[in-house]
Chain A
Amino acid sequence: MNILIIGANSAIANAVARRYAARHCSLFLVARNEKRLQTQQQDLEVRGAKRVGIHVLDVLEHDKHAEAIKAGHAFFDGADIDIALISHGSLPDQDAAETDFELAKREIDVNGLSVISLLSHLIPPFKAQGRGILAVVTSVAGDRGRQPNFIYGAAKSLVSTYLQGLRGKLLPHGIHVVDIRPGLVDSPMTAQFEKGALWSTPELVAANIEKAIDGKRHTVYVPGYWRIIMAIVCSIPEVVFKRLKL
């Protein structure tokens, strides 16, 4: 299997890549940090990947997106891409971004617009091959705007809404679209947080993502209990909800 991963440096993407490496897939990793990409390349090769290619990209540079996707195709020698996983993102400083539009715009770009841009470059080749899976990591934060992270949430829900429409549009082309919504996941960014029972590890989330992709699911919450939590969060009447700082 040929797998393209954008945002490969992220803890979740890294853990997913390891699972596919163990299945002897070929992987093409796109991310911002070259040194980290080289470390990942070595790691995935040791873990059994057939071939691993890397490409440096800052997703904010939209004009370089086409080139990154093209590099992926070249790496796979023009063969079909079985799975494209988009998993980059950043967690903005909500308070700062509320009053600094440039910062808000940047975060919405990283977490939202850049994903749409990348998808627009992936759709034509996927249509041409007439098969494949587009999997995008969004977030439970996109389900309802909550006080601590609604700019991040707004960007993620932008992507989720886009994917809902795209899924139907690509159905006749034999392309499947998966929206992956992780809850709280341990990563280098969250190391200093107190970890309650709702936190999960990138490894556990990755196992769920692999299953969701293999099983061609539509919208998956990882771990699954987040579907229930978010259903409850979404069912709280606005009169009450607007007073909640959760």
Chain B
Amino acid sequence: MLLTGWGRYPTVTSQVTAPGNVDALTKQLPAYPRGTRLIPRGAGRSYGDSALAEQVVSSRFLDNFIALDAENLRISCGAGVTLAEVLRLCVPQGLFPPVLPGTKHISMGGAIAADIHGKNHHVDGTFCDHVESISLALASGELVHCSRSENSELFHATCGGMGLTGVIVEARLKLAKVPSVSINTESIAAANLEESLTLLNEHNEKKYVVAWVDCLARGAALGRGIIHCGDHSDAGELRHRESSSIGVPFTTPGFLLNRVTMATFNKLYFNRHSWAAGARQQDYDKFFFPLDSIRNWNRLYGSRGFLQYQFVLPDESAESGLTEILGAVSSAGKGSFLAVLKRFGAANENLLSFPRAGLTLTLDFKFEPSLLSLLDELDAMVLAHGGRLYLAKDARMSEAVFKQSYPNWEAFKAIKDRVDPEGLFASMQSNRLGLSGADMGSSTA
């Protein structure tokens, strides 16, 4: 069947299997003929080509809970369980996943493979920092239990390893105890990039901090935005809520998203939030997952899809780098509603995890052929400022850019080659980045 990532670019024809249980999976894996390239896939929420290959094994039906220990704040479940399900179960008990990304419709396995982050990275680290152990199905069909003390090398390669070491089948996650899931939020308007950065610094002790940036504003207003901060309210509720959502029933023509409509949207968003700036209490579903209220919002970018571009720059070069990159985006007239700026805390030990201390900016761009050269230019700026790109969003970075910015790639590759000697696990992305098996080199899919 035809498969894409969430960005709907690129597209690939794949054979998809969805084993109904772990046994079926471990029988299936060693049966593939030599030379097969297979990648595990969770909820399909990575944006680019990291969960695309000729053969795809879906964790869709490995979605069982194993145990919830409310006293010791632990949950064990299959890799296909989504965070939406975890929330449904945990919230009424005052338990909360310690790290949440911008959508709840991601799988546990995907969250670990991409070592995702949330609005609280500067305080709580990445998702995998709260993963106690995982169970990994290797290419041989063997099940391996990995944690920081058991098979720790494999654990640190698999967390953030984009599914290239094996199929994550189960995981045990530490939960947080929260007084409520109502979030006390505060929104502050920033007139330009400098102010946005200052505000991010000033609110660094707050638990959840994120800035929306108007990437189409130019000149003195370059980098203007709205800083949203939040923390769990002591006087809120512990009710599971799922805000109602509306769907985008079909792919809208891509030309509807153009400079004028996006600039108008951004202006309206900025004005609305700067007018309504201040403190209030918000339901967690709205605070963490505003985009989940529009199902299939990815269809708004037209039939050719879109690319999300997320990079991190170390603190010392962040301001100059951001100015340069935002300037390039703004003068190219490209950009989108979704420009999100966050501060990261220190990096963890996982070999391919994206976050490192500094500032991260996320931009999304409607796909058009001219976009690729702009992104190559941005890559050069990111590298020049000592930064790197997020693999879960990437669909086009070059092998050279990747290898230069992820210095641990060789250590990762050595572990991958050891546990997957025939190179069964490979995605279009890993082929492009030179991370597939030995005989595959860096050929493209």
- On A, residues with C-beta under 8 Å from B are 9, 11, 33, 35-36, 39-40, 42-43, 46-48, 186-188, 191-195
- In Å, the complex CA distance between A39 and B21 comes to 9
Q: Is the CB of A194 within 8 A of B21?
A: no
B175 CB, nearest partner CB in chain A, Å: 13
Which one of A39, A48, A191 contacts B17 once the chains associate, using CB atoms below 8 Å? A191
Task: Report the stretch among B57-65, B277-285, B312-320, B372-380 that lies at the interface.
Answer: B57-65
Nearest-neighbor residue (CB-CB) of A41 within chain B: B64
Q: List 7 A-B contacts (CB under 8 A).
A: A11-B61, A35-B21, A43-B65, A47-B65, A47-B89, A187-B20, A188-B19
Q: Is the CB of B66 within 8 A of A46?
A: yes
Q: Is the CB of B66 within 8 A of A43?
A: yes
- In Å, the complex CA distance between A35 and B23 comes to 9
Q: Is the CB of A195 within 8 A of B1?
A: yes
Q: Is the CB of A192 within 8 A of B1?
A: yes
B415 CB, nearest partner CB in chain A, Å: 29
- On B, residues with C-beta under 8 Å from A are 1-2, 15-21, 23-24, 58, 60-61, 64-68, 77, 89
Q: Is the CB of B65 within 8 A of A192?
A: no
B89 CB, nearest partner CB in chain A, Å: 7
Known A43-B64, A47-B89; judge A193-B1 contact (CB<8 A): yes
Q: Is the CB of B15 within 8 A of A36?
A: no
- In Å, the complex CA distance between A186 and B18 comes to 10
Task: Provide the residues of chain B in CB contact with A186, threshold 8 Å.
Answer: 60
Q: Is the CB of A39 within 8 A of B64?
A: yes
Interface centre among B1, B19, B20, B77, by most A CB within 10 Å? B20
- In Å, the complex CA distance between A42 and B89 comes to 14
Which one of B16, B60, B66, B67 contacts A192 once the chains associate, using CB atoms below 8 Å? B16
- In Å, the complex CA distance between A192 and B89 comes to 30
B65 CB, nearest partner CB in chain A, Å: 4
Known A47-B89, A191-B16; judge A42-B21 contact (CB<8 A): no
Task: Provide the residues of chain B in CB contact with A194, threshold 8 Å.
Answer: 1-2
Known A47-B89, A191-B58; judge A42-B1 contact (CB<8 A): no
Which one of B1, B20, B68 contacts A188 once the chains associate, using CB atoms below 8 Å? B20
A201 CB, nearest partner CB in chain B, Å: 9
Q: Is the CB of B18 within 8 A of A188?
A: yes
A189 CB, nearest partner CB in chain B, Å: 8
Task: Provide the residues of chain B in CB contact with A9, threshold 8 Å.
Answer: 20
Task: Provide the residues of chain A in CB contact with B16, threshold 8 Å.
Answer: 191-192
- In Å, the complex CA distance between A192 and B24 comes to 15
Q: Is the CB of B18 within 8 A of A42?
A: no
- In Å, the complex CA distance between A46 and B70 comes to 11
Nearest-neighbor residue (CB-CB) of B24 within chain A: A188
Nearest-neighbor residue (CB-CB) of B88 within chain A: A22
Interface centre among B19, B58, B61, by most A CB within 10 Å? B61
Nearest-neighbor residue (CB-CB) of B20 within chain A: A188
Task: Provide the residues of chain B in CB contact with A40, threshold 8 Å.
Answer: 64
Q: Is the CB of B65 within 8 A of A36?
A: no
In the complex, besides A188-B18, A193-B1, 15 extra interface pairs with C-beta distance below 8 angstroms are A36-B23, A42-B64, A42-B65, A42-B66, A43-B65, A46-B66, A46-B67, A46-B89, A47-B89, A48-B89, A186-B60, A188-B19, A191-B17, A192-B15, A194-B2
Nearest-neighbor residue (CB-CB) of B250 within chain A: A197
Known A35-B21, A47-B89, A191-B18; judge A42-B58 contact (CB<8 A): no
A42 CB, nearest partner CB in chain B, Å: 6
Known A191-B58, A194-B1; judge A11-B64 contact (CB<8 A): no
B373 CB, nearest partner CB in chain A, Å: 34
- In Å, the complex CA distance between A192 and B68 comes to 33
- In Å, the complex CA distance between A35 and B27 comes to 14
Task: Provide the residues of chain A in CB contact with B21, threshold 8 Å.
Answer: 33, 35-36, 39
A134 CB, nearest partner CB in chain B, Å: 26
Q: Is the CB of B65 within 8 A of A188?
A: no
Nearest-neighbor residue (CB-CB) of B1 within chain A: A194
User: Which 5 residue pairs are nearest across A and B when measured between Cβ atoms?
Assistant: A191-B18, A46-B65, A188-B20, A43-B64, A194-B1
- In Å, the complex CA distance between A36 and B18 comes to 15
- In Å, the complex CA distance between A39 and B67 comes to 11
- In Å, the complex CA distance between A211 and B53 comes to 39
Q: Is the CB of A46 within 8 A of B68?
A: yes
Task: Provide the residues of chain B in CB contact with A191, threshold 8 Å.
Answer: 16-18, 58, 60
Which one of A36, A42, A46, A192 contacts B20 once the chains associate, using CB atoms below 8 Å? A36
Task: Provide the residues of chain A in CB contact with B65, threshold 8 Å.
Answer: 42-43, 46-47
Task: Provide the residues of chain A in CB contact with B18, threshold 8 Å.
Answer: 187-188, 191
- In Å, the complex CA distance between A43 and B77 comes to 8
- In Å, the complex CA distance between A48 and B90 comes to 11
Task: Provide the residues of chain B in CB contact with A47, threshold 8 Å.
Answer: 65, 89
- In Å, the complex CA distance between A193 and B3 comes to 12
- In Å, the complex CA distance between A48 and B240 comes to 14
Task: Provide the residues of chain A in CB contact with B1, threshold 8 Å.
Answer: 192-195
- In Å, the complex CA distance between A71 and B6 comes to 47
Nearest-neighbor residue (CB-CB) of B64 within chain A: A43
Task: Provide the residues of chain A in CB contact with B68, threshold 8 Å.
Answer: 46
Nearest-neighbor residue (CB-CB) of A35 within chain B: B23
B316 CB, nearest partner CB in chain A, Å: 47
A130 CB, nearest partner CB in chain B, Å: 36
Task: Provide the residues of chain A in CB contact with B89, threshold 8 Å.
Answer: 46-48
- In Å, the complex CA distance between A40 and B20 comes to 11
Which one of A33, A188, A195 contacts B61 once the chains associate, using CB atoms below 8 Å? A188
Task: Provide the residues of chain B in CB contact with A39, threshold 8 Å.
Answer: 21, 64
B235 CB, nearest partner CB in chain A, Å: 27
B161 CB, nearest partner CB in chain A, Å: 24
Task: Provide the residues of chain B in CB contact with A48, threshold 8 Å.
Answer: 89
- In Å, the complex CA distance between A197 and B17 comes to 20
Task: Provide the residues of chain A in CB contact with B17, threshold 8 Å.
Answer: 188, 191-192
A72 CB, nearest partner CB in chain B, Å: 22
- In Å, the complex CA distance between A33 and B24 comes to 11
A157 CB, nearest partner CB in chain B, Å: 27
Task: Provide the residues of chain B in CB contact with A46, threshold 8 Å.
Answer: 65-68, 77, 89
A13 CB, nearest partner CB in chain B, Å: 12
Known A39-B64, A42-B67, A43-B64; judge A11-B15 contact (CB<8 A): no
